[in-house]
Structure 1
């Protein structure tokens, strides 16, 4: 063997031995990167915050034949185990200048381990909870508002004003509603009351009706159906850019874009939820809005494309932030 070839072989063997020694001696447990993703949209810096995942059973899709669900899930590669389909829970921090708005707050301690990561990831993104000026809630389900409280049951966002639609507040915060609600949903009423109580006590809970003024640049769009007062938030980014944070318009992304008529078992009014989904998707597609979805695969930022009478999800491309 030529001497140069021998030298190359010796170097390769030495590197291999070093790598084997390092791997064999390590006790490091691999960790996923922080659940944080930044996207510049016009004048807005939008930060997706991963809260964790929850399993939703395919049988919770209603109004669609199970065989059609199976066909739509085939080759979509949505992770699934005996508990159900992996479904992300996301929240979104929107920065305009020095003003910080958080849309939805995650689950905190309400759903056990594997969730409740919004505060951790907010800090990993370089922010602190007391910098948040407003928290906009799309609706009053536990995976969207339990994160208003920290691990000690105190205000997670001590300087923030919390915004909840009057229709959802009237329903979810009223003990009388609990007694007539479907049994599987009754647990959520106390969680909602507990989560907002400290903000109500300090006068920083705002119940808003259609047409009421919201934080600058934000418009609430009626998208009721999943809950009586479910809203989506359209945020003006300037320069012709708009961001729609649409809450729970979609739970099963591999099915409901293609079949918007498939509803979720937990929808309070399934017909209204279907109508809201069709209308919201059509508006997003027709206007070219950026979309942020609470239960789309993290970071859940992208666009909606129309496909005949249905729609498709177009994930956003990774892009560096502009220099400041």
Structure 2
């Protein structure tokens, strides 16, 4: 089981956003009106990776006040100074949610699913973007999940409990499934974390056995797609590496929540990391791997369209969006 430090971190993560997408933390309930994030007119973008195509699909953007709890191990003044140095707002954070569609070998693999019908008015746009890109939900062959936070899994079912991608198998990390479906872990979790466990059970609990498939870390799970263990953000947090015709693309999920902060300072800990130290080690190892290969990458919470490369910068890394 997680130790007390990890459980407390997990409680913050779930209560702040990821349990169901509807809970509003106490520190946000009395926040000043910071405006509404603007969504782009076109919410999808395409990129070729060898013989494959990767399409980013913006599910939406939320705006949250920047408070001291967001970065757990750095003074708020230092966090704001780093944002200001990049000409970014210092009183709030805009958080995009961007699943990716991989079209390869005649198959269509959706990587993570957004908030679905369970988020606010500036989220839940995935199906709209999917159709705008020329695909229907029934066209999806596989739904590939990086981890079980609600903004990554809530799009699997609608509020009626129906599977949104009716023809797709759902593939999940075995380590992640083992943690969240463990009754002992759920019973030992703080009260603020119970909702996250319940949300996982709502999503996966009665899924037919022939529909749900668990995969191991660091294996080829689909032709040209390899799972990459990246534990720390959650116990089974997993990245995906696409290889096609000599080119590579890394989907880094929640390796960094805000690249302007946690890529520039990989040792900083976002409040949502369940095991902050393990997440820190993972960030540094993965960014070193990506920069060494100069591979294209995409991040779930990166500025839309989410494509770019990572380059060394000072004691950390700088995300360089693709043109």
The alignment's TM-score, normalised by the length of structure 1, stands at 0.82
* 8 A Cα contact 1:44 1:237, kept in partner: yes
Residue of structure 2 in register with 1:272 after alignment: 278
* 8 A Cα contact 2:157 2:164, kept in partner: yes
- Output the CA distance in 2 between the equivalents of 1:157 and 1:185: 28
2:228 paired with 1:218: no
Deviations 1:179-238 (A, max 9, x none): 32244332111111112235x225211112235551111111110000000010001122
Match of 1:290 among 271, 296, 299: 296
- Output the CA distance in 1 between the equivalents of 2:243 and 2:220: 14
Match of 1:44 among 36, 48, 52: 52
SS of residue paired to 1:244: strand
Deviations 1:152-173 (A, max 9, x none): 3211111111111111111112
2:80 paired with 1:70: yes
Structure 2 unaligned spans of 5+:
1-37
Instruction: Give aligned pairs, total.
Output: 284
* 8 A Cα contact 2:262 2:268, kept in partner: yes
Deviations 1:268-301 (A, max 9, x none): 1100000111111111111011111000011111
Match of 2:158 among 145, 150, 162: 150
* 8 A Cα contact 1:135 1:160, kept in partner: yes
Residue of structure 1 in register with 2:102 after alignment: 94
Query: 1:140, CA displacement in angstroms?
Result: 0.5
2:249 paired with 1:243: yes
2:119 paired with 1:121: no
User: Which fold has the larger relative contact order, with Cα–Cα distance below 8 Å and residues 6 or more apart in sequence?
Assistant: 2
* 8 A Cα contact 2:84 2:90, kept in partner: no
* 8 A Cα contact 2:157 2:203, kept in partner: yes
2:321 paired with 1:315: yes
- Output the CA distance in 1 between the equivalents of 2:90 and 2:45: 24
- Output the CA distance in 2 between the equivalents of 1:48 and 1:89: 10
Point out the structure with max Rg over C-alpha. Answer: 1
Query: 1:58, CA displacement in angstroms?
Result: 4.1
The alignment's TM-score, normalised by the length of structure 2, stands at 0.83
